[in-house]
Chain A
Amino acid sequence: MAHKNIHSIYDLIKKAQSEKGDKVFILNQADERKITYNEFFNDVNAAYRYFSSLEIKSGDKIAVISESSYLGYVFITAALSFGITISPLSTSLKENDLDYALSLICPRVVFVSRECKKKMSYIDKFSNKYTFITMDEQCSLGKGLTETGELNEISADGSIIIFTTGSTGRSKGVELTVQNILANIYDVVRYYGISDDSRLIAYFPLTTIGSTVINILSTAYAGASVFLCKPFLEQSLFLAFVKDFWNIIQNNKISHIYANPSVLNMLLKFQKSFKTLTWKPKMIISSMAPLSKETQNAVEDLTGIPVLNGYGLTETTCRSLFGSYDDEKRRKCSLGKPIYPTKIINEAGNECKPYEVGEILISGPTVMKGYYNDSASTGNVIKDGWFYTGDLGYYDEEHDFYIVGRKKNIIIKHGNKISIEEVEEALLGYKKMYDFAVVGVPDENMGEKVVLFCVEYENEPIDQNELVKFCKDNLSEYKCPDLIKTVKAIPRSASGKILREELKKLLISEEKN
């Protein structure tokens, strides 16, 4: 239980509305509106009335395919408030990934933004199997707003299903309950000192659990406000965002900046655009991928703002380790002391001693309900109430935790997890490679990049442009190789296992030369 007076998301937004009323809750950059707590609460109720008009009721499942938008957040909050299971789907899904996600969830309705409908032209192919409705704020909320008054039919908790990459095969739908979310919100607000004079910034996609839990719902819980950035509908718009970043922070007096190492590295590229801020944010919280000491120190040295290294997985709702406040430890990227039950175990399954590296295990109220409709995979990662993160770490004599790497075959590029197996499975369809292997290699800008090593058939050189096109046609953009290298052979162990570390070393030594 997160808080004695708050048992549901509906309780949370109702309490916020009754206490904060006309205070601005969301500053929406897309249309420059300032949305108050009253307006948000009414919009959430209106969204539910709109759902009801479409015969969506408590216990049903819906999906949303939308860039980060106010309406997207209203839909998610309404679903969670009124017992509906909602799954925000990535806007970069390829046809086969979308097919897989929809067949797993079987949503009653799929809401799609206009932009995504344009971009994902293949959506029409699914219209005989699922009901697609284009999202339109005036239409959706306007209809619901014509009826006023509070709704009384809060029967059950909703849940949210976020697709993430597990260690094997295809994406899995992580199902998080309202109780998972409430527990994490409470600790996020408390640990980071978010109060009613705080202002957060939201710019990650709707599919990031942090965008709902941290950006919106913890803001509401604290009675604070959040600046909702315009979505990056085109690749070049991300540039405009990065170049304007410090202006946004200054002009909107952002107190808590959420970022990932990729964004921090981009900001370091434009050091010139960081002028001495007359407004000083309280902290930068980095998460979604391992933060290097170099990046942490460089950002702190440039800005004078403390950079905390947070840690968590979608499977543990969002934040599991919150980052150390201690000056010295923070600069070593310490994850800080655990709030939830956390331990590190070695290969033998025994708890590690200080400084002994092992797998990080997390338990407690934020551990997911499970992978949706996949009890076998759930059983592989949750054992006796402990979630096996697949990440390797250690703790020091003061019980501050540190992360060192990953046990699983996963590449984290720009904070997106990519299963090596999934990429290799897709590449099996390209028959012109004699042998191949995919490896994640550290990259200054991306965190890690996807590198494809391939072996050609004798006298049959691979047409790399054709191969790139094949990847683009069969994999989401972020999963496509960033670099293709031709090698004479793929190093394998006696049992045939690919020796990925050797390929990594080969590339790193080549790049150094």
Chain B
Amino acid sequence: MCLENNIFEEVKDIILGLSSVNLSNINVTGETKIFDELGISSINFVVMIAEIEDKFNITINLEDVDVLKLNQIKSIVELVEKTLEIEKAED
């Protein structure tokens, strides 16, 4: 549970660092929409994934992922968790 929270916080921090919006009035949760509510651009979305890969030392494989559904913080967190699990199993 603690690890999951950490992942959420780490991912949230990366995303918020790339957001153009003043966040003081937004309650950022797993449901927050990264494009519509946080104003993440397509380029920053790429930067975000690159930063997440560096942070967690993982390589996100998009082959089995519907990238169109990667529009909320929680979907990104789930992707990170899934990738961590797969990479752990492979070790």
Of B22, B39, B67, which one neighbours A239 at CB under 8 angstroms? B67
B40 contacts the other chain (CB 8 A): yes
Q: How far is the CA of A244 from the CA of B24 in the complex (A)?
A: 36
What residues on B are CB-neighbors of A239 within 8 Å?
42, 45-46, 49, 62, 67, 70
What residues on B are CB-neighbors of A262 within 8 Å?
43
Please determine whether A483 and B47 come into contact, CB atoms closer than 8 angstroms: no
Please determine whether B46 and A482 come into contact, CB atoms closer than 8 angstroms: no
A236 contacts the other chain (CB 8 A): yes
B3 contacts the other chain (CB 8 A): no
> How many B residues touch the partner, as a band?
20 to 34
A235 contacts the other chain (CB 8 A): yes
From 29 to 56 in chain B, residues with beta carbon under 8 angstroms from any chain A beta carbon are: 35, 39-47, 49-50, 53
Given contacts A270-B50, A272-B53, A480-B20, contact A238 B45 (CB under 8 A): yes
Of A234, A243, A445, which one neighbours B68 at CB under 8 angstroms? A234
A242 contacts the other chain (CB 8 A): yes
Q: Mark A235-264, 1 if CB is under 8 A from B, else 0.
A: 111111011100000000000000000100
A269 contacts the other chain (CB 8 A): yes
Please determine whether B43 and A445 come into contact, CB atoms closer than 8 angstroms: yes
B21 contacts the other chain (CB 8 A): yes
Please determine whether B68 and A269 come into contact, CB atoms closer than 8 angstroms: no
Please determine whether A236 and B43 come into contact, CB atoms closer than 8 angstroms: no
Please determine whether B47 and A240 come into contact, CB atoms closer than 8 angstroms: no
Q: How far is the CA of A240 from the CA of B62 in the complex (A)?
A: 7
Q: How far is the CA of A295 from the CA of B2 in the complex (A)?
A: 39
Q: How far is the CA of A459 from the CA of B44 in the complex (A)?
A: 34
What residues on A are CB-neighbors of B62 within 8 Å?
239-240, 243-244
CB distance from B30 to the nearest CB of A (A): 17
Please determine whether A269 and B47 come into contact, CB atoms closer than 8 angstroms: yes
Q: How far is the CA of A266 from the CA of B51 in the complex (A)?
A: 11
Please determine whether A235 and B41 come into contact, CB atoms closer than 8 angstroms: yes
Please determine whether A446 and B43 come into contact, CB atoms closer than 8 angstroms: yes
Residue from the set A236, A242, A262 with the largest chain B CB neighbour count within 10 Å: A236
Given contacts A465-B21, A468-B20, contact A232 B59 (CB under 8 A): no
B71 contacts the other chain (CB 8 A): yes
CB distance from B42 to the nearest CB of A (A): 4
CB distance from B15 to the nearest CB of A (A): 13
Residue from the set A242, A463, A481 with the largest chain B CB neighbour count within 10 Å: A242
B89 contacts the other chain (CB 8 A): no
Q: How far is the CA of A262 from the CA of B44 in the complex (A)?
A: 11
What residues on A are CB-neighbors of B60 within 8 Å?
243
What residues on B are CB-neighbors of A445 within 8 Å?
43-44, 47
B1 contacts the other chain (CB 8 A): no
B5 contacts the other chain (CB 8 A): no
Of A236, A243, A480, which one neighbours B42 at CB under 8 angstroms? A236
Q: Mark B11-22, 1 if CB is under 8 A from A, else 0.
A: 000000000111
Please determine whether A236 and B71 come into contact, CB atoms closer than 8 angstroms: yes
What residues on A are CB-neighbors of B41 within 8 Å?
235, 477-478, 482
Given contacts A236-B68, A272-B53, contact A483 B20 (CB under 8 A): yes
Of A242, A272, A465, which one neighbours B25 at CB under 8 angstroms? A465
CB distance from A267 to the nearest CB of B (A): 10
B-binding residues in A (CB < 8 A): 232, 234-240, 242-244, 262, 266, 269-270, 272-273, 414, 445-446, 463-465, 468, 477-478, 480-484
The 8 sampled A-B contact pairs (Cβ below 8 Å) are A235-B40, A236-B67, A239-B67, A239-B70, A243-B62, A262-B43, A273-B59, A465-B25
What would 4 more interface pairs be, CB under 8 Å, given A238-B45, A262-B43, A465-B22? A240-B62, A266-B43, A266-B47, A445-B47
